[in-house]
Chains A and B, each alone.
Chain A
Amino acid sequence: MAEPDFEAQLTRLYNEPPAFADAALFAAQVAANLDRGWALRRILIGGAGIAAGVIAAAQLITTRFSADLQALSRDGTRDLNADIGVALDKLNQVVSTPASVEALWLAAGLALLALGFAVTRAMEEL
């Protein structure tokens, strides 16, 4: 048999896949592995969403107080009692002003959204 003919025949033979009795099972296993990988990815995204929500909420709350704390440390020469009094006043002010309530609600809302997202994802996977 001439070489090119034989090589063409060999390529043809290689292109005829053997029949596997468990071909459907193999395809199902690959599909299951794909689904599992996808589920893991979604859980990771959900987890990252929650973490980001919590961090954002924490940032929103702490930025309100950090400026006040920095001011306190700069004015270290002041009388401690006066400072504590001022700080308490400021704290009360911060908590009672509409802006801080907004921030608090915003943070709570973000956390709830993140939680809802994660629960939805988990339910979808179950």
Chain B
Amino acid sequence: MSRDRPPTGHDVELAALAAAGDRRAYGELVRRHGSAVRGLLRRMGADSATADDMAQDAFLAGFEQVADYRGEGAFGGWIKRIAARCYLRKVKREARMILTDEAQDGDDPTALNEPRTANRIDLDDALKALSKGERLCVSLCYGGDWSHAEVAEALNIPVGTVKSHVKRGLDKLRAKLAPPTESARREAHG
């Protein structure tokens, strides 16, 4: 393989090369999946600096464990799982407090009441309407492909608590991501 050309191939092939110590192959995997991992951590509620630090830690940990990745699932899912675990380890105590509290308002309380006027569906904007707990649970379940039971186990909270956070989060997201109503559209155009 040429030293100048980045390695190419399927993720599974690159992971096998990385498992044999090929750091350039792993670098290509980082290029391919870096944004997805950083994005997931931000959507879970991490600020940008923490998300990037955690994503870096996850990729470094991933390199150590890449021999365990056998290609059963997508590499992106595998590394996102590691990243989510890294983040949860960091925020576990805070997350447990948030999640066992009663329902909270979202980060942006007005966000839910604002009619959606743009046609572009922006998940990141919509997530601002969710509370921290709802955001964490919804992002783990739909972004990280975790089951309710896995989230509950990782955070050491009842499954029912996770389910109720997910349900409330989904309701808010559904309202935010629904197509704009005719009246809202008219309002937007003056």
Residues of A with Cβ closer than 8 Å to B?
Answer: 1, 6-7, 9-11, 13-20, 23-24, 26-27, 29-31, 33-35, 37-38
Contact = CB atoms under 8 A, between A and B. Distances in A.
Interface stretch (B92-100, B156-164, B173-181): B173-181
Given A9-B177, A13-B177, 8 more contacts: A6-B170, A13-B121, A14-B123, A18-B35, A23-B31, A27-B34, A30-B56, A34-B23
Nearest to A23: B35
B60 A31 contact: no
B143 A31 contact: no
Interface in B16-52: 23, 26-27, 30-31, 34-36, 38-40, 42-43, 52
Contacts of A34: 23, 26-27, 60, 63
A26 B38 contact: yes
B23 A26 contact: no
List 3 tightest A-B contacts by C-beta distance, closest first. A14-B143, A17-B36, A17-B35
Contacts of B83: none
Classify chain B's interface size. 20 to 34
B124 A18 contact: yes
B40 A1 contact: no
Residue from B34, B39, B43, B143 having most chain A Cβ neighbours under 10 A? B34
A33 B56 contact: yes
Chain A interface mostly:
helix
B59 interface: yes
B82 interface: no
B147 to A, nearest CB: 13
Nearest to B38: A20
B174 A27 contact: no
B142 A10 contact: yes
A20 B42 CA distance: 12
B43 A31 contact: no
25 contacts: A1-B178, A7-B142, A10-B123, A10-B142, A10-B173, A10-B177, A17-B36, A17-B38, A18-B35, A19-B35, A20-B34, A20-B35, A20-B38, A20-B39, A23-B31, A23-B35, A26-B55, A26-B56, A29-B56, A30-B56, A30-B60, A33-B60, A34-B27, A34-B60, A37-B60
Interface in B101-147: 121, 123-124, 138-139, 142-143
